[in-house]
């Protein structure tokens, strides 16, 4: 067996370096999954021990050396993300507050489609706080994210300006329900200690210093929207050039997302590649017109250098976001490979780019952007590297019609493979994915790459001499065609596949299987089908939650007999309603709890019966801020299996199974409950008891769960199950 293993590794020796970023990412993932510092230390020491032990034993074999390098990479990943989380450590607001303060503007992000302007601020001084006698002024974190109504933004506002404003501030929100977006984690690594909404009056205390790139980006975005027309066409044109998506109407953004074309709106690999390729073609053709240069200089190298400068400049112009930096690094690696005479589009290139990004931004591994972009590129390269696909697309003598049909077929197959690779990631992070994205992308990507972006670049160039109007008309027409593709695809019934929040184990199994299939070349790669199928089956048979409760206890969603999601409160914001529908694995709009036949509701209480199999579960929830007579509440609690409230319930309120009131929800965060199904009683995934998933977990020591208080350098103390305890709570 050892000899067989050594022969297999010898046959796969060219593929072994590809696993280095995978092992580094495995260490980063372990840090996110393990809850406490002791667990991180143990995992790092175990990985170091395995690595050093393999280094000592593996003098003559490839297996021990490979396992040793992999273990050391895992230890490096744990230490890297741990060091990164400590390096960005900052204070976080502990409770909601209203304050008037002076702050310096660090970043301005216009959102015209929502009639908002988003500001990143650095507070300088607090002028006033809540109107409470004897309470000191609040201490604000070092960085805030504030939304301002467009009408409240003072004229002449720019980066570096000092503002005086009032705002209602909140701590960065954690997921409202299990599986929802965790902005608290993102804000921690971004240095944001509080978010909120500012309100008038907003005054400029000191003007900002002129900033070249932000000012150029804003001016260019405004010019493009003015020339390309308003609405979705102008917003998409600005997004392609400057990365500014704030002007795209929400309906068009949703259509692009449902059709699987949302990746075209963010400046990433497609846009960087198109800009670099166009630059290299133009530079090569122009320099070839000069014989003296063509005979003495290597024009491809000169064109590659020009392409590298364009890639770097494009990245800086669009704000140097992490996805754009990642794409720029990959483009530079391709240019270096071309300069060295090596094959450019290989998995080694992708591995090198992933390694660079993980070393610089290890936290990006947990985000969908990193996973989607690298999964797509790996799927494309690995699929087209297969001997059968190479034979399919190889040049041959044949009629032109056959060649075109073969090329279209290869593109369609590649699109299907990419969609299959991206589907688990989309379902895990967003609980939905576009079904017809492969067909839409086959039409939209060539249209964007070869028509829209060249037309827009030419229009901007000809605007310098005042002759860009015809090109802007053509750009607007092509953008309208792109929007038509998105809207038509999104309107097809079943265009979006919803799925409840996927278990982390199912997603991990599919990720391991997909990576195994993509990175190996011998027949052993087929073993990756096993964990992939197991993970997919696990995700499919996992039932949707029957009850969702947000962390504040105000919003409750229950699954109806028809499979819809019914909301407790008649007035629920669009964001909360969409989030609860997404968490329940429903593509349509939620319905109202009070409209259901098996529910009884008053203005203060709602009681519903959820029948699962032969068992009936009675759920009682409060839906107003008014007090309910104690005796009536106690009788209602005794008749219910589950009682939910956003307030503290009296001790006499004793339901038959679970009481979720303010005190418990403060320790658990949002809750998802799945009642047992008798149809799954014989499967390994079934349970005779209800399954409870919570946002917070006991002993979780990640810094965004237990952040430092602005009034103190020490982290906030915690209750036994993880609730933060501030100095005021202790007093």
Rg (CA), the chain: 28
What is the model's pLDDT at position 575? 80
What is the model's pLDDT at position 180? 85
Mean pLDDT by 10 residues, the chain (731 residues): 84 90 95 93 95 82 88 96 93 89 89 85 86 72 92 84 91 89 91 91 83 73 82 84 80 83 76 84 87 82 88 81 76 82 79 88 89 86 83 77 80 81 86 76 83 88 86 90 89 78 90 93 90 92 89 88 83 80 79 83 86 84 85 89 90 90 90 77 56 88 81 46 35 28
3-state secondary structure of 34: coil
- CA distance linking residue 564 with residue 560, whole number of Å: 5
Phi, psi angles (nearest 5°) of residue 221: -65, -45
Of 509, 516, 550, the residue nearest 669 (C-alpha): 550
Question: What one-character DSSP code corresponds to residue 132?
Answer: -
Of 352, 351, 360, the residue nearest 325 (C-alpha): 360
Helix axis angle, 322-339 to 347-360, nearest 10°: 140
3-state secondary structure of 453: helix
Decide if 514 contacts 289 (C-beta within 8 A): no
Q: How far is CA 56 from the centre of its chain?
A: 41
Decide if 36 contacts 8 (C-beta within 8 A): no
396 CB-contact burial (10 Å; exposed 0-12 / middle 13-18 / buried 19+): exposed
- CA distance linking residue 148 with residue 116, whole number of Å: 6
Peptide bond into 201 cis (omega under 30): yes
pTM metric for this prediction: 0.85
Contacts for 299 with CB less than 8 Å, ≥ 6 apart: 283, 284, 287, 288, 293
- CA distance linking residue 587 with residue 521, whole number of Å: 39
Decide if 323 contacts 264 (C-beta within 8 A): no
3-state secondary structure of 617: strand
């Amino acid at each position: 067996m050892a000899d067989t293993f050594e022969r297999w590794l010898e046959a796969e020796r060219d593929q072994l370096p590809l696993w280095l970023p995978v092992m580094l990412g495995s260490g980063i993932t372990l840090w996110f999954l393990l809850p406490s510092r002791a667990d991180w230390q143990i995992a790092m020491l175990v990985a170091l021990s395995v690595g050093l032990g393999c280094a000592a034993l593996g003098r003559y074999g490839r297996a021990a050396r490979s396992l040793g390098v992999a273990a050391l990479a895992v230890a490096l990943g744990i230490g890297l993300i741990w060091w990164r989380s400590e390096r960005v450590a900052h204070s976080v607001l502990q409770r909601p507050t209203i304050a008037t303060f002076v702050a310096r503007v660090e970043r301005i992000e216009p959102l015209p489609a929502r009639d908002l302007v988003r500001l990143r601020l650095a507070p300088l001084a607090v002028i006033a706080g809540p109107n409470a006698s004897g309470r000191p002024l609040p201490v604000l974190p070092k960085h805030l994210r504030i939304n301002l109504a467009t009408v409240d933004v003072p004229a002449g506002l720019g980066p570096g300006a000092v503002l005086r404003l009032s705002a209602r501030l909140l701590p960065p929100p954690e997921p409202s329900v299990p599986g929802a977006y965790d902005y608290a984690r993102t804000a921690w690594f971004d240095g944001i200690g509080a978010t909120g909404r500012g309100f008038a009056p907003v005054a400029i205390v000191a003007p900002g210093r002129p900033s070249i790139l932000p000012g150029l980006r804003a001016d260019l975005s405004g010019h493009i929207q003015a020339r390309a027309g308003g609405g979705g066409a102008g917003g998409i044109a600005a997004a392609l050039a400057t990365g500014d998506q704030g002007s795209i109407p929400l309906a068009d953004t949703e259509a692009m997302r449902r059709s699987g074309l949302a990746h075209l709106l963010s400046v990433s690999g497609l846009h960087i590649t198109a800009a670099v390729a166009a630059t290299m073609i133009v530079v090569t053709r122009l320099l070839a017109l000069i014989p003296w240069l063509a005979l003495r200089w290597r024009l491809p190298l000169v064109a590659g250098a020009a392409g590298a400068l364009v890639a770097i400049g494009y990245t800086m112009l669009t704000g140097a976001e992490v996805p754009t930096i990642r794409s720029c690094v990959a483009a530079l690696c391709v240019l270096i490979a071309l300069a060295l005479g090596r094959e450019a589009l290989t998995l080694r290139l992708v591995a090198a780019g992933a390694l660079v990004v993980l070393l610089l931004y290890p936290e990006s591994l947990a985000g969908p952007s990193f996973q989607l972009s690298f999964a797509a590129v790996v799927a494309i390269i690995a699929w087209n590297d297969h001997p059968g696909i190479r034979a399919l697309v190889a040049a041959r003598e044949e009629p032109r019609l056959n060649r075109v049909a073969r090329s279209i077929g290869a593109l369609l197959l590649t699109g299907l493979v990419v969609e299959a690779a991206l589907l688990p990631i989309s379902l895990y992070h967003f609980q939905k994915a576009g079904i017809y994205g492969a067909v839409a992308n086959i039409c939209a990507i060539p249209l964007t790459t070869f028509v829209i972006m060249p037309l827009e670049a030419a229009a901007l160039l000809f605007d310098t001499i005042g002759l860009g109007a015809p090109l802007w008309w053509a750009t607007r027409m092509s953008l309208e065609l792109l929007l038509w593709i998105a809207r038509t695809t999104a309107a097809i019934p079943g265009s979006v596949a919803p799925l409840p929040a996927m278990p982390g184990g199912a997603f991990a199994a599919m990720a391991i299987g997909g990576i195994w299939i993509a990175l190996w070349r011998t027949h052993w790669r087929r073993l990756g089908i096993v964990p992939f199928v197991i993970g997919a089956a696990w995700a499919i048979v996992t039932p949707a939650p029957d009850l969702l409760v947000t962390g504040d206890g105000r919003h409750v969603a229950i699954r109806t007999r028809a499979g819809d999601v019914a909301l407790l409160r008649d007035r629920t914001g669009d964001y909360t309603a969409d989030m609860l529908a997404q968490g329940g694995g429903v593509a349509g709009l939620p319905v109202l709890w009070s409209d259901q036949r098996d529910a009884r509701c008053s203005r203060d209480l709602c009681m519903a019966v959820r029948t699962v199999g032969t068992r009936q579960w009675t759920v009682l929830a409060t839906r107003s801020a008014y007090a309910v007579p104690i005796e009536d509440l106690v009788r209602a609690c005794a008749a219910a299996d589950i009682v939910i409230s956003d307030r503290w319930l009296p001790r006499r309120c004793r339901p038959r199974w679970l009481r979720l009131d303010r005190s418990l929800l403060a320790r658990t965060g949002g809750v998802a409950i799945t009642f047992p199904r008798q149809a799954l009683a014989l499967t390994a995934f079934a349970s005779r008891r209800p399954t409870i998933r919570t946002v917070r977990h006991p002993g979780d020591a990640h810094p965004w769960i237990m952040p430092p208080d602005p009034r103190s350098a020490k982290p906030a103390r915690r209750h036994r199950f993880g609730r933060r305890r501030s100095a005021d709570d202790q007093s």
